């Protein structure tokens, strides 16, 4: 049982929901990312998603696009991110999921990436633009057991594909709660409860909901309908604002703590 499975099993046993935090690896620097991950862990985050910086992040809104750009400009590369995870593991066992597009993984070497990421201490990978059908049709993209493969399901996913995707999911399923790109929203999307119920009818894998959640009230509402809540852009925006300050990690921890508490109260 890897860290992801162990964490979700413990949450289920205590009837609690997961809080999943997304940040861009290398924003503002790799050293600061280590501090921020430790602050997220201390604030109670159950899973940390680290975005691998990529020049063409098609699913990301402007906040996360700029974070990837800042990370690239700071010298962040895929090998350096994997080395950074080794440093994180000296002090933290929080489950880590690498949030990425296929291009950086394919360029690194698909199978080698999985082996090296797992050896560094990563637990899962979410490749946003790799449909499971594509992996089935290309031998070089065959599933690797070293990392849990997180699957995406969206409001636009055809009903007949939901059980097919859910059956292949590992770790947790990321339900994208709204159409479009990432970004904080003033209201949560409609239809979340119904869609989560339909996904859970097809799998035992936990379902976490993201895209647009930015405050404790929204987080608590979504936590009441799912196994976990993903918050990304709101955290990344805070890092953008305070990245040059020495206490940016403390500020991130202080921002995340009430979000975590709201999720845990459900």
- CATH number of the domain to which 36 belongs: 3.20.20.70
With a pLDDT cut of 90, the percent of the chain lying above it is 81
**Residue 83 and residue 121 in contact, taking contact as beta carbons nearer than 8 Å:** no
Joined together, the tokens standing for residue 194 give: 């119904």
Residue 249 has pLDDT above 80, yes or no: yes
Give the span between the Cα atoms of 121 and 130, in whole angstroms.
Answer: 22
Known catalytic residues are 49, 60
Q: Which domain holds residue 19?
A: 3-265
Residue 183 has pLDDT above 50, yes or no: no
| Mean pLDDT, the chain, integer | 92
Whole-model pTM: value is 0.94
pLDDT (mean) for 199-216: 93
Terminal Cα-to-Cα distance of the chain (whole angstroms): 26
Our count of domains for the chain comes to: 1
Residue 11 has pLDDT above 50, yes or no: yes
pLDDT (mean) for 127-153: 86
Q: Sorting pLDDT into bands at 50, 70 and 90, what band is 256? A: very high
Residue 225 has pLDDT above 90, yes or no: yes
pLDDT (mean) for 37-47: 98
pLDDT digits (tens, 9 = 90+) for 59-96: 777 899 999 999 999 999 999 999 999 999 999 999 99
CA-closest candidate to residue 64, choices 255, 238, 249, 250:
238
pLDDT (mean) for 37-66: 93
Residue 189 has pLDDT above 80, yes or no: no
**Residue 186 and residue 213 in contact, taking contact as beta carbons nearer than 8 Å:** no
Determine the pLDDT at residue 178: 58
Determine the pLDDT at residue 188: 63
Count Cα neighbours of 157 within 13 Å in the Cβ-side half-sphere. 23
Determine the pLDDT at residue 136: 76
């Amino acid at each position: 049982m890897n860290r992801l499975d162990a964490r979700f099993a413990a949450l289920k046993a205590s009837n609690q929901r997961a809080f999943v935090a997304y940040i861009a690896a290398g924003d503002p620097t790799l050293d600061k990312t280590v501090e921020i991950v430790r602050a997220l862990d201390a604030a109670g985050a159950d899973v940390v998603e680290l975005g691998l910086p990529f020049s063409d992040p098609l699913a990301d809104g402007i906040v996360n696009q700029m974070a990837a750009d800042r990370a690239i400009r700071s010298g962040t590369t895929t090998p350096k991110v994997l080395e950074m995870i080794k440093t994180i593991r000296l002090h933290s066992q929080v489950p880590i999921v690498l949030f990425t597009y296929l291009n950086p993984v394919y360029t690194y070497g698909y199978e080698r990436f999985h082996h090296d990421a797992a050896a560094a201490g990563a637990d899962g990978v979410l490749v946003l633009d790799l449909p499971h059908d594509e992996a089935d049709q290309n031998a070089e993209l065959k599933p690797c057991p070293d990392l849990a493969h997180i699957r995406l399901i969206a409001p636009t996913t055809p009903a007949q594909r939901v059980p097919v995707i859910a059956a292949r999911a590992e770790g947790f399923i990321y339900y994208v709660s709204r159409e479009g790109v990432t970004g904080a929203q003033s209201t949560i999307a409609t239809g979340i409860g119904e869609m989560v119920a339909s996904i859970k009818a097809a799998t035992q894998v936990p379902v976490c909901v993201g895209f647009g959640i930015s405050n404790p009230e929204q987080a608590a509402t979504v936590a009441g309908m799912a196994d976990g809540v993903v918050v990304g852009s709101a955290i990344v925006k805070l890092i953008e604002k305070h990245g040059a300050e020495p206490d940016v990690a403390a500020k991130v921890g202080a921002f995340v703590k009430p979000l975590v508490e709201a999720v845990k109260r459900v």
